[in-house]
Amino acid sequence: MLFELARGRLEQVQLPEPVLAMRLIARDLPGFVPAGRDLFDERPANALPIEQLRERLRARLGDRAVYRLGGTTDPRPERAQAVSESGAAYHEPHPRPTWLLGRPIPLRGAPPRILAGPERLETGWWDGAEACRDYYVIETSLGQHAWAFCQPGEQSGWMLQGWFA
């Protein structure tokens, strides 16, 4: 893992002359614990633990390219998430899709199957962007899981807000 991290960081460095030697000094390393594998482990052979994957991505893409999302005090989906300043994980009280659309679009095709909801969102009266919607976790006719809304008390005129991974 240290080799991968060092290589990822150093691949991006431009040096004026060739490097003849390099030394890595680690003053505080955790104890080595071999990964316990089950005989019937279903993970692919090259799967990485999330911490190692995160560090590899940071090394290759830069520290600012990999981040966690955190919540805001605004319940509107388009304003409810922001880049988290702390390293703490943020958990939504209700399921939220990982892919929010830039703006809601009409849901076409057969009526969806409702998996969860409604969750009433009534907000925005204070800033002129009033919203009153009933949100649902749905499954489309193609088997995709999505987050959509319609007018309160109705189950037609669906507007797609985002997709679940």
What is the model's pTM?
A: 0.49
Q: Give the model confidence (pLDDT) of 49-105 as tens digits.
A: 777 888 888 888 887 788 777 767 676 666 666 777 655 555 555 677 878 888 899
Which residue range forms the structural domain that includes residue 149? 94-163
What does the alpha-carbon distance between residue 22 and residue 7 come to, in Å, rounded to a whole number?
12
Alpha carbon distances (Å) from 151 to 21, 116, 131, 146:
66, 16, 10, 17
Q: Is 102 a domain residue?
A: yes
Q: Is 127 a domain residue?
A: yes
Report the domain count for the chain. 1
Nearest to 160 by CA among 99, 91, 115: 99
Q: Is 10 a domain residue?
A: no
Q: Is 85 a domain residue?
A: no
At 113 the pLDDT is: 94
Q: Is 5 a domain residue?
A: no
Q: Is 116 a domain residue?
A: yes
Tokens 């037609």, residue located: 156
Q: Is 146 a domain residue?
A: yes
Q: In this predicted model, which residue has the larger pLDDT, 116 or 66?
A: 116
At 10 the pLDDT is: 79
